[in-house]
Amino acid sequence: MNEENIRELMRWYLDAGVDETISDAPVDRFTAAEQSAVFASQAEPDAAKASQAVPDAAKPSPGKSDKAGKPQDQKPRQDNTLPQGAEAAIHTAVSLASAANSVEELRSALESFDGCPLRKTATNLVFVDGNPAAKILFVGEGPGADEDLQGLPFVGPGGQLLDRMLASIGLDRQSVLISNTVFWRPPGNRTPTTAEIAICMPFVERLIDVVDPDILIALGGAAAKTLLAQSQGIGRLRGKWFPYSSPRLPRPIDAMAMFHPAYLLRSPGQKREAWRDMLMLKQKLTE
């Protein structure tokens, strides 16, 4: 192939939306065995023997898949089976997360954790932004390209809208803490798989324990289903308070789902509902 052909091929890839490489060699993701291999390569030697179950909240919910989060470039894995190695990774995640007693200890634990395959393709760990002592914890789906580059959650266009939504009720990043259900960017902004969410979930649950917020907000359908353990779509879940309980919390936390800011950018007609949800949040803060 001469240079001009290569340039044309690159232009063709760019036009098709392929604008970054994610590994040194091509991977045929249509072959299930390949995906297992990614996990297997990261598994501990006794991976297959680990008996840690998938947390209930991370299992796929029945019903229609939610389209209200980020653009769905690829379908998430929709069955209950975990790729080889994922169980061992969850097991390690549980022991690392439960030994952490602060947000900073959780960050260190995540930095040392190589059980999530998303880490291989991401530029940076994206853990939290804001104030660990805040009363409100927002949890989104997973980092996008901007977040991956900066190592901070919600810094892209969706994050800028989130900042404006916070400002509309007198809040800012110092009055909240912001995180995600997975801590590394899924390649091409695809939806995180069930296994990826399950592997990160012990850290998310421990984050909620150590922050112990008064209010937990799930941003988008994927985070809502995971955290609220509900099967309905975001359109039905949003705008209602649910109790979020954990054995290590002194009491249930008031939790609510809201539309994901990236969805609001694509569907501005839904901003009215989002505004209602922000007013509910503001009201809750005065109770």
- What is the binding site for ligand URA (CB under 6 A)? 70, 140-144, 147, 153-154, 156, 158-159, 180, 262
> Contact, 129 vs 154, CB < 8 A?
yes
With 0-12 / 13-18 / 19 or more C-beta atoms within 10 angstroms meaning exposed / middle / buried, residue 72 is middle
Q: How far apart are CA 28 and CA 80, in angstroms?
A: 22
The nearer residue to ligand URA, 113 or 154, going by C-beta atoms, is 154
- Name beta bridge partners: 215: 136, 254
Measure the CA dihedral 204/176/73/31, to 10°: -20
Q: How far is the CB of 155 from ligand URA (least distance, A)?
A: 7
DSSP conformation class of 48: G
Q: How far is the CB of 141 from ligand URA (least distance, A)?
A: 4
The nearer residue to ligand URA, 70 or 119, going by C-beta atoms, is 70
The nearer residue to ligand URA, 158 or 213, going by C-beta atoms, is 158
Q: How far apart are CA 237 and CA 113, in angstroms?
A: 33
Q: How far is the CB of 45 from ligand URA (least distance, A)?
A: 34
Q: How far is the CB of 32 from ligand URA (least distance, A)?
A: 27
The nearer residue to ligand URA, 98 or 270, going by C-beta atoms, is 270
The nearer residue to ligand URA, 47 or 103, going by C-beta atoms, is 103
Q: How far apart are CA 259 and CA 20, in angstroms?
A: 28
Closest chain position to ligand URA (CB): 140
